[in-house]
Chain A
Amino acid sequence: MSESENKWIGKNTIRPDGADKVTGRAAFAADANMPGMIWGKVLRSPHAHAVIKGIDTSKAEALPGVKAVVTATDIIDFPVDTPVPLGIQDMRWMTRNVMAREKALFHGHPIAAVAAMSEAIAAEACKLIEVDYEVLPHAIEIDDALADDAPILHDFIEFDGKPSNIAGTLEHTKGDVEAGFAEADVIIERDFTTRPVHQGYIEPHACLVSVAPDDKTTIWSSSQGQFMVRAMTALLTGIPQSSIRAIPAEIGGGFGGKTIVYLETLATILAKKSGLPVKMVMTREEVMRASGPTSGSKSTVKIGAKKDGTITAAEGFYWLQAGGLPGSPIRGAAGCALAPYDIPNGHTFGYDVVCNRSKVAVYRAPGAPIGAFGVECVLDELAEELGMDPLDLRLKNAAKEGTKAVHGPTYPVMGYAESLEAAKVHDHYKAPLGPNQGRGVASGFWFNAGGESSAQVNITEDGNVVVTTGHPDIGGSRAGIANICAELLGIDYRRVSVLIGDTATVGFSNLTGGSRVLFASSMVVTESTNNVIGTLCELAAKIWDIDPEAVTWENGEARPAGANAGQFPPLTLEELAARANETGGPIGAGSQLNTAGAEGGFGTHICDVEVDQELGIVRVLRYTVLQDVGRAVHPAYVEGQMQGGAVQAIGWALNEEYVYDKDGRVDNPGFLDYRMPVASDMPMIDTYIIEIPNPKHPQGVRGVGEVPLVPGLAAVRNAIYDALGIRFNSLPMSPPVILDARNRKEAAE
Chain B
Amino acid sequence: MTDTQYVAPQTLDEAVGAFAAGGDDARILAGGTDLLVQMEAGVVSPGVIVDVKQVAELTTIEETADSGFVVGAAVSGAALEEHPRFGEVWPGVLEGFNLIGSTQIQGRASLGGNLCNGSPAADSVPAMVAAGAVATIQGPDGQRELPVEDIPTGPGSTCLAPGEILVSLTFPPRPAGSSDAYLRMIPRTEMDIAVVGVGVSLTIEDGVCTAARVGVGAVAPTVLLVEDAAKALIGSKLDDAALDAAAGACSAACNPIDDKRGTVAYRTKVAGVLLKRTTEIAAERAQGA
Alpha-carbon separation in the docked complex, A667 to B189 (Å): 22
State whether A615 and B261 are in contact (beta carbons under 8 Å apart), knowing that A672-B193, A735-B266 are contacts in the complex: no
CB distance from A371 to the nearest CB of B (A): 27
Whether, in the assembled complex, A124 has its beta carbon less than 8 Å from a beta carbon of chain B, the answer is yes
Residue of chain B at shortest CB distance from A120 = B1
Q: By the criterion CB–CB under 8 Å, are A736 and B189 in contact?
A: no
CB distance from A572 to the nearest CB of B (A): 50
Residues of B within 8 A of A740 (CB): 265-266
Write the residues of chain B forming the contact surface with A, with a CB cutoff of 8 angstroms: 1, 185, 187-193, 195, 260-263, 265-266, 269-270, 273
Residues of A within 8 A of B195 (CB): 735
Q: By the criterion CB–CB under 8 Å, are A667 and B185 in contact?
A: no
Alpha-carbon separation in the docked complex, A740 to B270 (Å): 12
CB distance from B146 to the nearest CB of A (A): 30
Q: By the criterion CB–CB under 8 Å, are A655 and B187 in contact?
A: yes
How many of chain A's residues touch chain B, expressed as a range?
20 to 34
Residue of chain A at shortest CB distance from B267 = A736
Q: By the criterion CB–CB under 8 Å, are B192 and A616 in contact?
A: no
Q: By the criterion CB–CB under 8 Å, are B190 and A615 in contact?
A: no
Residues of B within 8 A of A673 (CB): 193, 260-261
Q: By the criterion CB–CB under 8 Å, are B188 and A672 in contact?
A: no
Q: By the criterion CB–CB under 8 Å, are B185 and A678 in contact?
A: no
CB distance from A125 to the nearest CB of B (A): 11
Q: By the criterion CB–CB under 8 Å, are B189 and A681 in contact?
A: yes
Q: By the criterion CB–CB under 8 Å, are B188 and A677 in contact?
A: yes
Alpha-carbon separation in the docked complex, A477 to B34 (Å): 40
**Given A678-B190, A680-B189, 19 more pairs with CB closer than 8 A:** A615-B270, A615-B273, A619-B189, A654-B187, A659-B260, A667-B260, A672-B193, A673-B193, A675-B192, A678-B189, A678-B191, A678-B192, A681-B188, A681-B189, A735-B185, A735-B187, A736-B265, A739-B266, A739-B269
CB distance from B122 to the nearest CB of A (A): 14
Please indicate which of the listed interface residues B190, B260, B265, B269 has the most CB atoms of chain A within 10 Å of its own CB: B260
Alpha-carbon separation in the docked complex, A126 to B282 (Å): 54
Residue of chain B at shortest CB distance from A616 = B266
CB distance from A649 to the nearest CB of B (A): 16
Q: By the criterion CB–CB under 8 Å, are A672 and B265 in contact?
A: no
Q: By the criterion CB–CB under 8 Å, are A668 and B260 in contact?
A: yes
Alpha-carbon separation in the docked complex, A667 to B260 (Å): 7
Please indicate which of the listed interface residues A735, A736, A739 has the most CB atoms of chain B within 10 Å of its own CB: A736
Whether, in the assembled complex, A146 has its beta carbon less than 8 Å from a beta carbon of chain B, the answer is no
Q: By the criterion CB–CB under 8 Å, are A615 and B185 in contact?
A: yes
Q: By the criterion CB–CB under 8 Å, are A675 and B193 in contact?
A: no
A703-749 CB contacts (< 8 Å) to partner B? 734-736, 739-740, 743
Residue of chain A at shortest CB distance from B196 = A615
Residues of B within 8 A of A736 (CB): 262-263, 265-266
State whether A124 and B192 are in contact (beta carbons under 8 Å apart), knowing that A614-B273, A659-B260, A734-B187 are contacts in the complex: no
Residues of B within 8 A of A678 (CB): 188-192
Residue of chain B at shortest CB distance from A674 = B260
Q: By the criterion CB–CB under 8 Å, are B270 and A675 in contact?
A: no
Question: 10 smallest A-B Cβ distances: which pairs?
Answer: A659-B260, A736-B266, A680-B189, A614-B273, A681-B189, A668-B260, A120-B1, A655-B187, A678-B191, A680-B190
Q: By the criterion CB–CB under 8 Å, are A675 and B269 in contact?
A: no
CB distance from A198 to the nearest CB of B (A): 15
Residues of A within 8 A of B192 (CB): 672, 675, 678
Whether, in the assembled complex, A617 has its beta carbon less than 8 Å from a beta carbon of chain B, the answer is yes
Which of B188, B265, B270, B273 touches A655 (beta carbons < 8 Å)? B188
- Annotate A105-138 by CB proximity to B: 1 below 8 A, 0 otherwise: 0000000000000001100100000000000000
Residues of A within 8 A of B190 (CB): 678, 680
Residue of chain A at shortest CB distance from B258 = A736
Q: By the criterion CB–CB under 8 Å, are B187 and A617 in contact?
A: yes
Alpha-carbon separation in the docked complex, A672 to B189 (Å): 12
- Annotate A563-576 by CB proximity to B: 1 below 8 A, 0 otherwise: 00000000000000
CB distance from B98 to the nearest CB of A (A): 14
25 contacts between A and B (CB under 8 A): A614-B270, A614-B273, A616-B266, A617-B185, A654-B187, A655-B187, A655-B188, A659-B260, A671-B191, A672-B191, A672-B193, A675-B188, A675-B192, A677-B188, A678-B191, A680-B188, A680-B190, A681-B188, A681-B189, A734-B187, A735-B185, A735-B187, A735-B195, A736-B265, A743-B269
CB distance from B157 to the nearest CB of A (A): 21
Alpha-carbon separation in the docked complex, A659 to B262 (Å): 11
Residue of chain A at shortest CB distance from B272 = A614
Residues of A within 8 A of B189 (CB): 619, 678, 680-681
Alpha-carbon separation in the docked complex, A655 to B266 (Å): 15
Residue of chain A at shortest CB distance from B262 = A736
Alpha-carbon separation in the docked complex, A42 to B195 (Å): 34
Alpha-carbon separation in the docked complex, A614 to B195 (Å): 14
Please indicate which of the listed interface residues A654, A675, A734 has the most CB atoms of chain B within 10 Å of its own CB: A675
Residues of B within 8 A of A671 (CB): 191
Alpha-carbon separation in the docked complex, A120 to B263 (Å): 38
Please indicate which of the listed interface residues B1, B195, B266, B269 has the most CB atoms of chain A within 10 Å of its own CB: B266
Residue of chain A at shortest CB distance from B42 = A123
CB distance from B65 to the nearest CB of A (A): 41
A597-615 CB contacts (< 8 Å) to partner B? 614-615
Alpha-carbon separation in the docked complex, A739 to B1 (Å): 47
Alpha-carbon separation in the docked complex, A583 to B211 (Å): 94
Alpha-carbon separation in the docked complex, A736 to B268 (Å): 11
Q: By the criterion CB–CB under 8 Å, are A124 and B187 in contact?
A: no
